[in-house]
């Protein structure tokens, strides 16, 4: 591999970088790329003067943001020039956590990493745990893990919003944000549930502006009225963890009034599919099928059974049917209706728990019905359905929804998210005009046909896994467990603890590795994951686990830690070997259709980042480092014949030339000879140049006939299959009733070859319900309401994203220290005044914070901004900055485990279906701090040292002065 860092970033490749400077002075130029100040991936233009970043503007042509730029995006210069940037590979010389390192050369760093990893791979690949944070190259990192042969891979989704993604993918074959969005141009009513302000930040702002301009109603359901909730037409301060109950009450009302879209249900969902009712049988609760596996429906007109493939025009949605073998079956819709019409879900019954009056619930249900059915949209757009039937019009239900982390980060989050999708499906508000719209390459089959790998027979020394580490189990036989039912991944994803852990369980890795449960590992390899601070629950415990030694051997309990990051985050001090990454403006990146693209509802889109400035430090893009390690380890796919690097030009080379299957690569635009193909085609050596010429994105707009009903739209499905978005042009029926969940439940009842151990069967039986299910968050059950009467939440400010934003010199001026926001009645009851210090006490620990009274918050909720509090000395900030002294981190009081069962076993503090971290289940009480305690946040950890190579933190920010012309006024 080339050793010149400039070569690795593309500057040394002789590539033509077009002059985008228009009529700028010769010293100035403009380069388009993609923002990475949060996860939204807006198009930006970076203005440079004398090779330095002068300012950043939004790219007005870009499909994601159309020129809109937020405070974070505009502050990219401060991210790039941050004094916290790492400057050279580091080897730990002090104790873990001390921040004592020596600088080493890349050759030594890569040799050290290769030595460790090579030994693991040749003996037991599972001993490597490779986890990445909010990285946007998971198509590469996941493939690397697969080729290495370890199942222990995941990114941050398990502790972010996997419930939202999993519920969407198992129910709709799509999901919010990257895989779908509201029909901003036509929707008349938007429900926003618990939205974090980073997932779709600028796109949501643009969308909300459109709704406001049209007079559409925006209803925010969120315990806290900040951000988008502040401009909503109506705000409902719901109690945390009760969203599913609230939505069930809406469904109860709609079903009671007959306000559901029966045609939509009959033709595009599994509502008419017959469910076997044979208590005790091995197929009880599964769909009745013909000999070819086709689900059966009852044709109420012809009074006969029909396989789904016959596209019955008049399938029954209710009534018991006798199957040919004499057993009974009912349409799944009848089971769902029975469940939701249960009096337990009447508005009066849920009002107290939700903190929303019954009359309000009834009114909202009536409003939804009125908009969906009395204000239906009718587009004069013919289209053909999956069975070849031609329709003259597209009829839409203009009710749309967006939700994210707020409703999903609970132990009941998966089912809550599913219930929300069921509401949309019942209204006929999936990919119809005015409702939720898929973003190609979605919809995919529900769930996508990818199974996780990592069973004992699939992990072999010195060999790759036969498939990806992450996927979508359809039943117990897809779990990654051994013959005794024991987890095979270090995080216990895809085990009986969390069978549908589609994004892994990064939040469990350190605890499990420390405990050697289910087995000890050798090396923890992480990328941009601040697990010693704001990405971990039980922060103090996590730091201890990272630095604890085995008293008998004197060795660290987690033997080796390799960490890659661009910045001196709190996690760096715990690494043995630090691989410094570049900033987002110094490297190639790719938002791929293979992973998490930037598609719009009107068509697929992907994008790149390209280096706009050359690194001035001895750092390398992590993706290049990963490719380099792949070569050094001899991983299949990374080396050509003879052992030479397959992608000698680094990540840029990989982006252009790597093919996942013939004709399918990282980027869909400008493929094939001359770059004339879209989606499919041979690698095109000039592909990146074409992207750069086009503002670093590719976007294909679908014809109007393919823009709605895509789950059952013949023309779209044929196109999607041709583009290899889906394996075959088969319809994606929406899964009101989730048969996959029932398969797990049957196993818990003793059926099938793969069954849960006796001590876990009851939990599987309880939570793998194929129908909508609401249960109180686990924390409600294990902590007494009398001792811990308040829910405690975090919100992400619009001006910051994770801990990266909290160290940015410009963004810190917006917020340098957080407060705990408290309902005024709770303040008065506790005898607290604004800016008093108080203890926030949970069953796990306590943290000291300054409080402030607030009106726009649910009556039993306290909250704070996320990731503002910093450890003193981290991020190369002065040790006495407000972030470290008066800022605080709520994570300190969240336990990563649930209390022990009688036998001592402790489950993760997570959703039992997906393993999503239940951050928002937290319950606390407040106590005023004593007068002599009112000075400094607590816990206050020993400041970390500034490692060699980082500059002393500047006292005064003078950035920008260098661009002033001599004649400019001072
Ligand atoms: S919303 Fe996110 S990606 Fe877009 S400009 Fe702001 S920080 Fe950048």
Give the Å distance between the CA of 75 and the centre of ligand 1: 10
How far apart are the CA of 60 and the centre of ligand 1, in A? 13
Those residues whose C-beta lies under 8 Å from the C-beta of residue 521, and which sit 6 or more positions away, are 126, 127, 128, 129, 152, 490, 513, 558, 559
Asked whether the beta carbons of 615 and 609 are under 8 A apart, the reply is: no
Give the sheet arrangement for strand 697-699, strand by strand.
589-591, 605-609, 697-699
Q: Which two tokens stand for residue 262?
A: 């029966």
Whole-number CA gyration radius for the chain: 27
CA of 37 to the centre of ligand 1 (A): 6
Under 8 Å between Cβ of 189 and 368: yes
Instruction: Give the DSSP H or E segment for 9.
Output: helix 5-9
Ligand 1 atom nearest to 44, measured from its CA: 5
Contact between residue 532 and residue 546 where contact means Cβ atoms under 8 Å apart: yes
Nearest atom in ligand 1 to 58's CA: 5
Task: Assess whether the C-beta atom of 65 lies below 6 angstroms from ligand 1.
Answer: yes
Percent share of the chain, pLDDT over 90: 88
Looking at the DSSP bridge assignments, the partners of residue 148 are none
- Candidates 541, 530, 526, 574; CA nearest to 870 is 530
- pLDDT for 56 equals 97
**Per-residue pLDDT averaged across 584-611, rounded?**
96
For 90, the 3-state DSSP assignment is strand
Main-chain dihedrals φ then ψ at residue 402, nearest 5 degrees: -135, 140
Sheet (strand 328-331) strand order: 274-277, 328-331, 321-322
How far apart, in whole angstroms, are the C-alpha atoms of residue 782 and residue 207?
Answer: 41
DSSP string across 508-552:
HHHHHHHHTSS---SEEEEES--TTTTT-SSHHHHHHHHH-B-TT
Ligand 1 close to Cβ of residue 805 (< 6 A): no
Q: How far is the CA of 183 from the centre of ligand 1 (A)?
A: 21
Question: Which pLDDT score, from 0 to 100, does residue 948 have?
Answer: 83
Quick one: 607 exposed, middle or buried, by C-beta within 10 A (0-12, 13-18, 19+)? buried
Task: Pick the more confident residue, 663 or 935.
Answer: 663
In whole angstroms, what is the distance from residue 630 CA to residue 326 CA?
59
Two tokens at 874? Answer: 């981290």
pTM of the model: 0.95
Lookup: tokens for 432:
């119809």
Is the CB of 656 within 6 Å of ligand 1?
A: no
Question: Rounded to whole angstroms, how far apart are CA atoms 646 and 657?
Answer: 9
How confident is the model at residue 18, as a pLDDT? 44
Pocket lining: 201 vs ligand 1, CB cutoff 6 Å: yes
Taking the C-alpha atoms of residue 443 and residue 98, their distance in angstroms, rounded to an integer, is 48
Instruction: Calculate helix-pair angle for 162-171, 413-426, nearest 10 degrees.
Output: 40
Which residue lies with its CA nearest to atom 2 of ligand 1? 38
Cα separation, 492 vs 915, whole angstroms:
9
Task: Give the pLDDT confidence of 38-84 residue by residue, as tens digits.
Answer: 989 999 999 999 899 999 999 999 999 999 999 999 999 999 999 99
What is the mean predicted confidence (pLDDT) over 688-712?
98
Task: Give the span between the Cα atoms of 861 and 550, in whole angstroms.
Answer: 41
Backbone dihedral angles phi then psi of residue 793, each to the nearest 5 degrees: -125, 165
Q: Are 197 and 208 in contact (CB under 8 A)?
A: no
Nearest CA to ligand 1 atom 8: 73
So what's the pLDDT on residue 2?
34
In which region does residue 537 sit, left (phi positive, over 0), alpha (psi from -120 to 50) or beta (all else)?
Answer: beta
| pLDDT for position 4 | 36
Residue 130's pLDDT is 97
Question: How far apart (Å, rounded) are the C-alpha atoms in residues 403 and 176?
Answer: 7
User: Would you state the structure tokens that stand for residue 50, as one six-digit string?
Assistant: 């004398």
Q: Does residue 158 have a pLDDT over 90?
A: no
* Other CB atoms within 10 Å distance of the CB of residue 289: 16
pLDDT bin (cut points 50, 70, 90) of residue 962 is confident
Point out which residues pair with 567 in neighbouring strands.
Answer: 85
Distance from C-alpha of 261 to C-alpha of 189, rounded to nearest angstrom: 17
Assign 9 a pLDDT band (cuts: 50, 70, 90).
very low
Is residue 17 predicted with pLDDT exceeding 60? no
Residue range 211-235, pLDDT digits in tens: 999 999 999 999 999 989 989 999 9
Q: Whose CA is nearest to atom 5 of ligand 1?
A: 73
- Cis before residue 145, ω within 30 degrees of 0? no
Output the pLDDT for position 16. Answer: 36
Nearby residues of 185 by Cβ (< 8 Å), 6 or more positions away? 210
Residue from 37, 228, 585, 804 whose mutation best tests the ligand 1 pocket (most atoms within 8 A of CB)? 37
Query: Ligand 1 centre from 226 Cα, in Å?
Result: 18
Residue 717 scores a pLDDT above 60: yes
Q: Is the dihedral of CA 619, 620, 621, 625 positive or negative?
A: negative
The mean per-residue pLDDT over the stretch 651-658 comes to 97
Q: What is the pLDDT of residue 529?
A: 93
Chain centroid to CA 382? 36
Q: Is 74 in the pocket of ligand 1 (CB under 6 A)?
A: no
**Is the CB of 872 inside a 6 Å radius of any atom of ligand 1?**
no
Closest atom of ligand 1 relative to the 72 alpha carbon:
7
Judge contact between 946 and 98, C-beta under 8 A.
no
Mean pLDDT of the chain: 94
Does residue 70 line the site of ligand 1, with CB under 6 A? Answer: yes
Q: What is the pLDDT of residue 134?
A: 81
- Name the DSSP letter for residue 639: B
**Predicted local distance difference test score (pLDDT) of residue 691:** 98
State the CB neighbour count (10 A cutoff) for residue 958: 7
Cβ contact 223:198 at 8 Å: no
Nearest to 598 by CA among 53, 220, 193, 202: 202
Q: Mutate which of 58, 64, 195, 202 to test ligand 1's pocket (most atoms within 8 Å of Cβ)?
A: 202
Residue-level pLDDT at 3: 36
CB contact at 8 A, 586 and 621: yes
Beta strand pairing call for 296-299 and 304-307: antiparallel
Distance CA 328, CA 669 (A): 52
Q: What angle do CA 653, 656, 662 make, to 5 degrees?
A: 125
Question: 960: pLDDT confidence band, cut at 50, 70 and 90?
Answer: confident
Mean pLDDT of 800-815: 89
pLDDT tens digit string along 866-881?
889 999 999 999 999 9
């Amino acid at each position: 591999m080339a050793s010149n860092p400039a070569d690795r970033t593309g500057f040394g490749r002789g590539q033509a970088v077009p002059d985008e400077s228009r009529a700028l002075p010769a010293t100035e130029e403009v380069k388009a790329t993609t923002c990475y100040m949060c996860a939204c991936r807006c198009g930006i233009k970076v203005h440079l003067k004398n090779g330095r970043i002068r300012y950043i503007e939004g790219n007005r042509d870009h499909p994601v943001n159309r020129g809109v730029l937020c405070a974070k995006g505009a502050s990219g210069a401060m991210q790039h020039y941050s004094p916290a940037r790492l400057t050279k590979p580091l080897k730990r010389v002090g104790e873990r956590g001390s921040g004592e390192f020596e600088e080493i050369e890349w050759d030594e760093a890569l040799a050290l990493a290769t030595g460790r990893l090579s030994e693991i791979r040749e003996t037991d690949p599972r001993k490597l745990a490779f986890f990445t944070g909010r990285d946007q190259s998971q198509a590469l990192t996941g493939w690397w893990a697969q080729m290495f042969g370890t199942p222990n891979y995941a990114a941050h989704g398990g502790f972010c919003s996997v419930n939202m993604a999993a519920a969407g993918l198992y129910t709709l074959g799509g999901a919010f944000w990257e895989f779908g969005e509201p029909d901003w141009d036509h929707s008349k009513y938007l429900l926003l549930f618990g939205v974090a302000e980073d997932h779709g930040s600028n796109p949501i702002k643009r969308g909300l502006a459109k709704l406001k301009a049209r007079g559409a109603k925006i209803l925010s359901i969120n315990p806290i009225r900040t951000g988008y909730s502040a401009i909503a037409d109506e705000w409902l301060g719901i109690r945390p963890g009760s969203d599913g109950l609230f939505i069930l009450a809406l469904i109860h009302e709609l079903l009671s009034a007959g306000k559901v879209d029966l045609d939509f249900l009959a033709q595009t969902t599994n509502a008419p599919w017959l469910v076997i009712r044979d208590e005790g049988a091995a197929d009880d609760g599964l769909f009745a099928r013909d000999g070819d596996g086709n689900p059966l429906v009852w044709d109420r007109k012809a009074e006969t059974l029909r396989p789904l493939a016959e596209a019955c025009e008049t399938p029954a949605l209710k009534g018991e049917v006798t199957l040919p073998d004499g057993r009974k079956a009912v349409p799944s819709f009848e089971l769902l209706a029975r469940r939701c019409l249960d009096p337990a879900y009447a508005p009066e019954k849920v009002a107290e728990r939700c903190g929303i009056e019954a009359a309000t619930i009834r009114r909202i249900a009536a409003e939804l019905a009125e908009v969906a059915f009395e204000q239906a949209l009718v587009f004069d757009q013919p289209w053909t359905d999956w069975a070849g039937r031609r329709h003259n019009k597209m009829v839409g239900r203009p009710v749309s929804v967006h939700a994210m982390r707020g409703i999903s980060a609970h132990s009941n989050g998966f089912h809550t998210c599913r219930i929300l999708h069921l509401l949309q499906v019942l209204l006929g508000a999936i990919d119809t005009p005015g409702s939720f719209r898929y973003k190609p390459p979605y919809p995919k089959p529900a769930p996508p046909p990818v199974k996780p790998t990592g069973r004992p027979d699939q992990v072999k020394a010195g060999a790759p896994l036969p498939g990806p580490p992450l996927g979508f189990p359809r039943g117990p036989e897809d779990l990654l467990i051994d013959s005794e039912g024991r987890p095979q991944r270090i995080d216990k994803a895809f085990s009986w603890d969390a069978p549908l852990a589609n994004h892994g369980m990064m939040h469990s890795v350190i605890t499990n590795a420390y405990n050697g449960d289910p087995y000890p590992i050798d090396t923890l390899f992480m990328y941009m994951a601040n697990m010693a601070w704001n990405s971990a629950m039980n922060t103090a415990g996590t730091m201890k686990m990272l630095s604890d030694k085995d008293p008998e051997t004197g060795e660290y309990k987690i033997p080796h830690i390799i960490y890659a990051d661009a910045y001196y985050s709190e996690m760096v001090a715990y690494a043995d070997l630090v691989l410094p990454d570049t900033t987002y403006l110094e490297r190639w990146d790719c938002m791929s259709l293979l992973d998490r693209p930037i598609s719009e509802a009107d068509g697929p889109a992907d994008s790149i980042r390209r280096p706009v400035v050359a690194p001035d430090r001895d750092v390398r893009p992590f993706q290049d480092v990963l490719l380099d390690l792949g070569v050094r380890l001899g991983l299949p796919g990374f080396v050509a014949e003879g052992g030479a690097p397959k992608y000698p030009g680094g990540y840029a080379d990989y982006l252009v030339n790597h093919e996942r299957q013939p004709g399918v690569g990282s980027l869909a635009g400008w493929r094939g000879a001359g770059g004339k193909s879209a989606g499919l085609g041979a690698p095109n050596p000039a592909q990146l140049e074409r992207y750069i010429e086009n503002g670093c994105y590719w976007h294909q707009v679908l014809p109007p006939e393919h823009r709605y009903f895509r789950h059952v739209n013949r023309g779209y499905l044929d196109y999607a299959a041709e583009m290899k978005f889906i394996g075959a042009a088969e319809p994606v029926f929406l899964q009101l009733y989730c048969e996959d969940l029932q398969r797990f439940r049957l196993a818990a009842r003793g059926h099938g070859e793969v069954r849960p151990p006796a001590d876990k069967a009851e939990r599987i039986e309880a939570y793998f319900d194929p129908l909508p299910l609401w249960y109180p968050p686990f924390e409600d059950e294990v902590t007494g309401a009398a001792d811990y009467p308040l829910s405690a939440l975090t919100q992400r400010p619009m001006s910051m994203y994770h801990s990266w934003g909290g160290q940015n010199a410009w963004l810190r001026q917006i917020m340098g220290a957080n407060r705990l926001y408290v309902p005024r009645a709770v303040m008065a009851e506790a005898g607290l005044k604004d800016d008093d210090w108080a203890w926030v006490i949970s069953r796990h620990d306590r943290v000291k914070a300054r409080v402030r009274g607030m009106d726009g918050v649910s009556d039993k909720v306290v909250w704070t901004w996320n990731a503002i509090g910093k450890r003193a000395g981290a991020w190369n900030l002065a040790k006495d900055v407000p972030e470290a002294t008066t800022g605080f981190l709520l994570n300190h009081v969240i336990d990563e485990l649930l209390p022990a069962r009688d036998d001592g076993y402790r489950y993760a503090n997570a959703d039992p279906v997906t393993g999503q971290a239940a951050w928002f289940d937290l319950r606390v009480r407040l106590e005023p701090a004593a007068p002599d305690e009112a000075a400094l946040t607590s816990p206050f950890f020993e400041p970390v040292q500034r490692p060699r190579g980082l500059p002393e933190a500047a006292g005064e920010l003078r950035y920008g002065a260098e661009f002033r012309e001599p004649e400019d006024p001072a």
